[in-house]
Amino acid sequence: MRRRLGIGFWLAVGWIGVVLLAALLADLLPLYRYDETLAGPPQTGPSWEHPLGTDGLGRDVLSRIVYGARVSLGVGVGAVLLGLLIGAPLGILAGYRRRAADAIIMAVNDVALAFPALVFALAVVAFAGASLRNVLIVLAVLGVPAWVRLVRGATLSFAEREFVLAARVLGTRDRRILWREIVPNVAMPAASYAFIGMAVVVVAEGSLAFLGLSVQAPTPTWGGLINEGRTLMETAPHVVLVPSVVMFLTVLSFNLVGDRLRALTDVRESGLEPVRQVTVSPMPVAEHQVRDTLLQAEDVRTHFVTPRGLVKAVDGVSFTLERGRTLAIVGESGSGKSMLIRSILGLLPGSAVRGGKVYLSGEDLTARTPAEMRSVLGPRLGTVFQDPMTALNPVRTIGTQVTEPLRVHLGLGRKEARAEAVRLLASVGIPDPVRMLGRYPHQLSGGMRQRVTIAMALSCGPDVLFADEPTTALDVTIQDQVLRLLHRLREEHHMAVVLVSHDLSVVARWADEVIVMYAGKVVERGPAAEVFRRPRMPYTQALLQAAPRLSDPVHHRLREIPGRPPDLVDLPPGCSFRPRCAYARDRCGQEAPPLVNGSGHQYACWYPRPIETAIAEGAESSGR
Ligand SMILES: Nc1ncnc2c1ncn2[C@@H]1O[C@H](COP(=O)(O)OP(=O)(O)OP(=O)(O)O)[C@@H](O)[C@H]1O
């Protein structure tokens, strides 16, 4: 930490500390009174008696600077705290609630920001009177719009992180998410801005004092001292230079500390979409039969209305899943895998429109309100995300994060939750789980972090575990361990697993059933062994050929799927895969192929690959 912050940071902290202490303890220090006109010649330079000399009236400059710091720093700290107190809640409200609250707060804020600040301050102080209280209030109010903007921005960015989505998936309430997940993370950028804000306020107060519009004489303030010394510039330059240098160093230090703190909070973006729970299902639902299975998705659709047109990210996906089985959802990036999962969980970006039905043990989840979904997310549906670093809150210990769902959902006490957390961490293969409780996510390796998120997802004993690309962010050697662990846990907990992946070699080994997605639609589905042994749709074949296999020689070149995934706003007519398909004929460009039964599974293709030429690889490398 020390090396990352740099020596400049510590020097700046030291300087601020010295000035602050001197201001606080001024009455205890062996100083002359700041307003005491001393015997002897005025305007003398530094001497033993007066280390920084005396001013035009023969008063001790050191004493006036120290007492001046009380006003300058007092206004700086006070105005920043007051601005923060008003601006931060508004910023959090705008960033988290969005929609109407955001629109109103930001519209007022933009108007406030358009005001010329110093002119406004001058006018108010000139009108209301130049006193410490008035200057502090005016500078605090002027700082509020900047606070609102900063806190809103930070809230927006953290509200989109996976650990917030993870908290939602665990059914955590909004207020708790705000306090436990978002506020601690917004605190760091806010602290950084507080220092920069203090620098701004110290300069602003100095400017007002320079114009004679701050605290009145004889109480010293740095800006006032500079103003008083102006006329002595030629005869006694120290009277103006010393307070100028002190003010310069203080402002520089505040900026430096603020800037280094900001650099510390510069964590990488998750790239996730903002998450909002969707309650309504405005799209019509096709006729279907509710089955007696654990999880049933019926004609699930997720559409986005964008300025470019309608994006059908998920377009009519249906499946059923039984306890003790693993369903793999595979497809290239952008094929709609994650949106399908989020639709099922009812956690979609605010701009999404959801259609279709999802049943858990025959109960319609799409009919539930977000509040009602909370009792399902966590206890019945668990989720593991792609990147364990963004799925865990960086400022909270592993212990707090693992025990939270246990306390919220299972109502366990502190001690019981801790004991259960230790048991859970041990069950996912974490060595020394007791010590692990006190650690922070950044102290763990990627594989260990993913084990922690798996432990959290399992904490309330879910019926279905969703694992969205759970190994993509991990080292190849760790990937297999994590998948093996998921498989073992599925057996132990007798749950169902939905495994999302773009890597067919991953799912070939661990899935019972597979759904292949392309442009939001299912293009091939069936028992995994069957689909991998005899893929009929050219896209599935291409995916299989693009997947690395353990048996490949070292310099084996993978065959890329030709062309690019389609633009979902402007899908080609007929089969969406046609422009990239080597076997396409006229009919493929005219009619979209339906899912048909054949060779033990379903595929959507007018000219499926003959069974003999289908690639008999993939599942063969399986060896659980
Ligand atoms: N907020 C949004 N507005 C418009 N389109 C969106 C939005 N979010 C996602 N999409 C589109 O939905 C499609 C499906 O996205 P999704 O994240 O489900 O893909 P994926 O198959 O999970 O890909 P990946 O493996 O990269 O995560 C993408 O093409 C994406 O462009």
Give nearest CA residue, ligand 1 atom 10: 313
Among 228-242, 277-291, 420-434, name the most confident range: 420-434
- Rounded to 10 degrees, what is the CA torsion of 441, 443, 448, 454? -10
For the Cβ of 306 lying below 6 angstroms from any atom of ligand 1, the answer is: yes
134-176 tens-digit pLDDT: 888 888 888 898 899 889 888 887 877 777 877 777 777 888 8
523-539 tens-digit pLDDT: 999 999 888 888 899 99
Work out whether strand 309-321 and strand 295-306 pair parallel, antiparallel, or are unpaired: antiparallel
In ligand 1, the atom with minimum distance to the C-alpha of 273 is 1
For the Cβ of 276 lying below 6 angstroms from any atom of ligand 1, the answer is: no
Q: Are 358 and 368 in contact (CB under 8 A)?
A: no
For the Cβ of 568 lying below 6 angstroms from any atom of ligand 1, the answer is: yes
Query: Tokens 């409200």 correspond to what residue?
Result: 93
Q: Are 327 and 321 in contact (CB under 8 A)?
A: yes
Q: Which of 170, 165, 179 is CA-nearest to residue 456?
A: 170
Q: Which residues pair with 311 in a beta bridge?
A: 304
**Residue 517 pLDDT exceeds 90:** yes
**Residue 7 pLDDT exceeds 60:** yes
Distance from Cα 404 to the centre of ligand 1, integer Å: 30
Return d(Cα 245, Cα 520) in angstroms, integer.
64
Distance from Cα 84 to the centre of ligand 1, integer Å: 37
Q: What is the DSSP string of 409-456?
A: HH---HHHHHHHHHHHHHHTT-SSHHHHTT--GGGS-HHHHHHHHHHH
348 by DSSP, 3-state: which?
A: strand
Q: What is the DSSP string of 356-370?
A: EEEEETTEEGGGS-H
365-418 tens-digit pLDDT: 988 887 788 888 888 999 888 777 788 888 889 999 999 888 888 888 999 999
Residues of the chain with pLDDT > 90, as a percent, come to: 26
Least confident residue range of 260-274, 332-346, 348-362, 556-570: 260-274
pLDDT at 270: 33
Give nearest CA residue, ligand 1 atom 7: 304
Q: Is residue 431 exposed (0-12), middle (13-18) or buried (19+ Cβ within 10 Å)? A: exposed
**Residue 451 pLDDT exceeds 70:** yes
Mean pLDDT of 499-510: 81
Type of residue found at 411: G
pLDDT at 291: 66
In ligand 1, the atom with minimum distance to the C-alpha of 568 is 29
**Residue 624 pLDDT exceeds 50:** no
Read off the tokens for 378. 């966590």
Domains of the chain: 2-31+61-264 (1.10.3720.10), 295-380+502-619 (3.40.50.300)
In ligand 1, the atom with minimum distance to the C-alpha of 517 is 21
Where residue 21 falls (left for φ over 0; alpha for ψ -120 to 50; beta otherwise) is: alpha
Distance from Cα 313 to the centre of ligand 1, integer Å: 6
For the Cβ of 349 lying below 6 angstroms from any atom of ligand 1, the answer is: yes
Work out whether strand 513-518 and strand 326-330 pair parallel, antiparallel, or are unpaired: parallel
For the Cβ of 304 lying below 6 angstroms from any atom of ligand 1, the answer is: yes
Q: What is the DSSP string of 147-195?
A: HHHHHHHHHHHHHTSHHHHHHHHTT--HHHIIIIIIHHHHHHHHHHHHH
Mean pLDDT of 231-253: 86
**Residue 125 pLDDT exceeds 80:** no
Return d(Cα 225, Cα 529) in angstroms, integer.
84
Containing 310, the helix (H) or strand (E) segment is strand 309-321
Q: Rounded to the nearest 5°, which phi and psi values hold at 303?
A: -120, 150
In ligand 1, the atom with minimum distance to the C-alpha of 342 is 18
In ligand 1, the atom with minimum distance to the C-alpha of 500 is 22
**Residue 276 pLDDT exceeds 90:** no
For the Cβ of 334 lying below 6 angstroms from any atom of ligand 1, the answer is: yes
Distance from Cα 487 to the centre of ligand 1, integer Å: 27
Read off the tokens for 117. 């600040």
pLDDT at 285: 64
Over its C-alpha atoms, the chain yields an Rg (Å, rounded) of 32
Give nearest CA residue, ligand 1 atom 2: 304
Return d(Cα 562, Cα 522) in angstroms, integer.
20
Return d(Cα 299, Cα 284) in angstroms, integer.
10
**Residue 124 pLDDT exceeds 70:** yes
Type of residue found at 316: G
For the Cβ of 502 lying below 6 angstroms from any atom of ligand 1, the answer is: yes
Q: Are 192 and 154 in contact (CB under 8 A)?
A: no
For the chain, the distance separating the N- and C-terminal CA atoms, rounded to the nearest angstrom, is 44
Cα 149 off chain centre by: 17
pLDDT at 274: 42
Mean pLDDT of 35-57: 72
8-state DSSP, 587: G
Give nearest CA residue, ligand 1 atom 11: 313
Mutate to test the pocket of ligand 1, among 98, 310, 311, 561 (most ligand atoms within 8 A of CB): 311
Q: Which of 163, 178, 362 is CA-nearest to residue 267?
A: 163
pLDDT at 617: 43
- Per residue, the 3-state secondary structure of 449-489, as one string, reads HHHHHHHHHHCCCCCEEEEECCCCCCCHHHHHHHHHHHHHH
For the Cβ of 243 lying below 6 angstroms from any atom of ligand 1, the answer is: no
Residues of the chain with pLDDT > 70, as a percent, come to: 89
Return d(Cα 237, Cα 324) in angstroms, integer.
85
Supply the mean pLDDT for the chain: 82
In ligand 1, the atom with minimum distance to the C-alpha of 349 is 1
Query: Tokens 């002119």 correspond to what residue?
Result: 119
**Residue 5 pLDDT exceeds 80:** no
Give nearest CA residue, ligand 1 atom 31: 334
Type of residue found at 271: G
24-43 tens-digit pLDDT: 988 888 877 777 676 666 66
Return d(Cα 29, Cα 14) in angstroms, integer.
19
In ligand 1, the atom with minimum distance to the C-alpha of 314 is 14
Read off the tokens for 352. 């999404």
Residue 363: CB atoms within 10 A of its CB come to: 12
Q: Is residue 136 exposed (0-12), middle (13-18) or buried (19+ Cβ within 10 Å)? A: buried
pLDDT at 268: 36
Return d(Cα 412, Cα 406) in angstroms, integer.
6
**Residue 236 pLDDT exceeds 60:** yes
Q: Are 232 and 239 in contact (CB under 8 A)?
A: yes
Q: Which of 519, 521, 517 is CA-nearest to residue 531?
A: 517
pLDDT at 329: 95
pLDDT at 616: 45
Type of residue found at 530: E
pLDDT at 621: 40
Q: Rounded to the nearest 5°, which phi and psi values hold at 417?
A: -60, -40
Distances from the Cα of 3 to the Cαs of 10, 15, 72, 497, 586, in angstroms? Answer: 10, 19, 31, 45, 66
301-359 tens-digit pLDDT: 999 888 788 899 999 999 999 999 999 999 988 899 999 999 999 888 777 888 889 99
Containing 6, the helix (H) or strand (E) segment is helix 2-24
For the Cβ of 270 lying below 6 angstroms from any atom of ligand 1, the answer is: no
Mutate to test the pocket of ligand 1, among 330, 333, 564 (most ligand atoms within 8 A of CB): 333
pLDDT at 435: 93
Inter-axis angle of helices 132-159 and 99-114, to 10 degrees?
140
**Residue 439 pLDDT exceeds 90:** yes
Q: Which residues pair with 291 in a beta bridge?
A: none
Per-residue b or e along 246-263, where b marks 16 or more CB atoms closer than 10 Å to that residue's CB: bbeebbebbbbbbbbbbe
- Per residue, the 3-state secondary structure of 47-109, as one string, reads CCCCCCCECCCCCEHHHHHHHHHHHHHHHHHHHHHHHHHHHHHHHHHHHHHCHHHHHHHHHHH
ipTM over 0.85: yes
